[in-house]
Structure 1
Amino acid sequence: MKSIVIALMLTFYASLLFAEQMPTTWLQNPSSLTQAIENAQKEDKKGIFIFITAEKCALCNYMQTVIFPQAQIANFYQQNFINLQINASVTTSIINFENQASTTTTVAKQLNSEGKAYPLALFFNPQGTLLYSFSGITQNPEEFLWLGEYILQEHYQQQSFTDYKQARYVNQPTKTGNSQAFFDVTFGDLQAELQTAKENGKQGIMLFFEMEGCPFCKRMRDTVFTQPDVQQFYKERFLIFPIDILGDVELTDFEGNTISSKVFSQTINRVRSTPVIIFYNLAGEPLYRFTGMTEDAQSFIWLAEYVLSGEYQRQLFKTYQQAKRNP
């Protein structure tokens, strides 16, 4: 099992979910956003979707080459939205939503007023009012379909997309890979992920060190990581990545060094047996290391609380857990 999800693996995973692919011709480069409003109303679309990308953006490229070419994605979004794409790095003329002459770089900045990281998916109603913005990528094409449904069914008014997505996974118990929803997608740059964690209001990064054939790793994945309470609690507070301690996949560690996941695991972090869970703060410094599997899902939540509260500096986790079970 590879721990760092690189583009080739994501492409393969996507192909398993959606066999038929289509060129990304359904995303148009607009010359006028007011024309998009007119088209949405004339064609009775349910909204306007704008994808903001940038040059040298690996995550943008992932969405464009892995997610968007899928036939089910194209059909769903074309049926429901006017679909546009703006490159924030390229300056061309465009009419903005206020029917004023502008440039694509200026419009991109205006639409991204909160300064979120690219890629950025923006959903507007047919009148051009922003409904929801989504920064980053989805782990697979199915999640991007769910994002569109999340908007159309107005779930964004009641719950976060993370909660909505987790509920969808829970309602698919027969599908493989439910534990994968616990993990975040990364291109292997842990130093960059620290900045992503800060920008998304996370409290740290959790790494799950595992190896193929490890029964305790599998049990954690099958019985703990699949639980909706666990997914919600951890994903609200951490970026979470699996690490294969025997893998040769290159990654960039927290200090900017390019090494294999095997070296990162066995030499840098001295992981010999699995599973091992290490919590890091937003400076990339290890806070706490837990070896083995937790007793159950509730114990795993307590483990995170133990770290975040700073109790790991004052007492053993065994003592903390016993106090939780027998208050």
Structure 2
Amino acid sequence: MIQHLTRAILVMGMLATPAVAQSGEAHLPSLPSSAVSEDGLHIEPWFKSSFLDLREDLTEAQASGKRLMIVWEQKGCPYCKKLHDVNLRIPRVADAVRRDFEPIQLNLWGSREVTDFDGEVLQERDLAAKWGIMFTPTLQFFPATLQEVGDKPGDKAEVVRIPGYFKPFHFYFLLRYAKTGAYAQQPSFQRWLGSIGEALDEKGVHYDIYADALPAALPGDL
């Protein structure tokens, strides 16, 4: 089931009465700053370089035991910048993306040609319109296999869509939610994340869902 999570989740938060991470102990943004491309997008050297045939990209991701992840951005987007300058500068977050996903960056107003899963070839901006992409950043996650995708276009094939920016805590666990296929058992990311909060509480892990960091004592199995 496709999950469209609204910006309201970003504001309200999803865990009741979290404890605050102690200063100086959290996983902080510490990796070198990202570069900016000629078209004004922040880039990561480990983002997938692709011919933008999405069926081929998903096949390659599957062969590597990873999931295909599309990141929509645009020039001058402050929350795209924050995604790169905060979330992806945290080693544990960046490692999770690199280990479990093949991320492809697309430009909301770009002119590169992309071959959709249904075979239609469109420029990035036209593909964004076809898929109903309206905000940046928007993240899309896709099934593990082409068999699950079939001949559906990307907006019908996606399993999770996030229109907006998530703080590191939400973003990190979003990656786990998408990679493990937890959406199949629990369609509500909000409720699933609530169960993660309960697990952290049981382990005595202090966390702050609004911090620009991950909690220091985050268990290795989470």
Say yes or no: TM over 0.5. yes
- 3-state DSSP class of the match of 1:147? helix
- 1:84 maps to what in 2? 104
User: How far apart, CA to CA, are the structure 2 residues paired with 1:15 and 1:135?
Assistant: 30
Task: Give matches, 1:20-169, under 5 Å.
Answer: 20-21=30-31, 23=34, 24-28=44-48, 30-32=50-52, 33-45=54-66, 47-111=67-131, 113=132, 115-125=133-143, 126-127=145-146, 128=149, 129-140=157-168, 142-157=169-184, 158-169=186-197
Cα gap change, 1:153 to 1:31, in 2 (>3 Å): same
Cα gap change, 1:88 to 1:123, in 2 (>3 Å): same
Higher relative contact order (CA 8 A, sep 6+): 2
Cα gap change, 1:14 to 1:167, in 2 (>3 Å): farther
Asked if structure 2 preserves the Cα contact closer than 8 Å seen for 1:30 and 1:94, the reply is: no
**TM-score by structure 1 length?**
0.45
User: How far apart, CA to CA, are the structure 2 residues paired with 1:37 and 1:86?
Assistant: 15
Task: Give matches, 1:1-327, under 5 Å.
Answer: 16-18=26-28, 20-21=30-31, 23=34, 24-28=44-48, 30-32=50-52, 33-45=54-66, 47-111=67-131, 113=132, 115-125=133-143, 126-127=145-146, 128=149, 129-140=157-168, 142-157=169-184, 158-173=186-201, 174-178=204-208, 181=209
User: How far apart, CA to CA, are the structure 2 residues paired with 1:151 and 1:135?
Assistant: 15
CA RMSD of aligned residues (A): 3.0
What letter is aligned with 2:31?
Q
**TM-score by structure 2 length?**
0.63
User: How far apart, CA to CA, are the structure 2 residues paired with 1:15 and 1:53?
Assistant: 31
Cα deviation, residue 35, structure 1? 2.4
Asked if structure 2 preserves the Cα contact closer than 8 Å seen for 1:119 and 1:135, the reply is: yes
User: How far apart, CA to CA, are the structure 1 residues paired with 2:60 and 2:24?
Assistant: 31
Cα gap change, 1:177 to 1:76, in 2 (>3 Å): closer
Q: Which has the higher helix share?
A: 1
Segments of 5+ residues of structure 1 without an aligned counterpart are 6-12, 186-327
After superposition, what is the alpha-carbon deviation per residue over 1:263-300, rounded to whole angstroms, capped at 9, x for unaligned? xxxxxxxxxxxxxxxxxxxxxxxxxxxxxxxxxxxxxx
Cα gap change, 1:177 to 1:44, in 2 (>3 Å): closer
Q: In terms of Rg, which structure is larger?
A: 1
Segments of 5+ residues of structure 2 without an aligned counterpart are 1-10, 12-22, 35-43, 150-156, 213-222
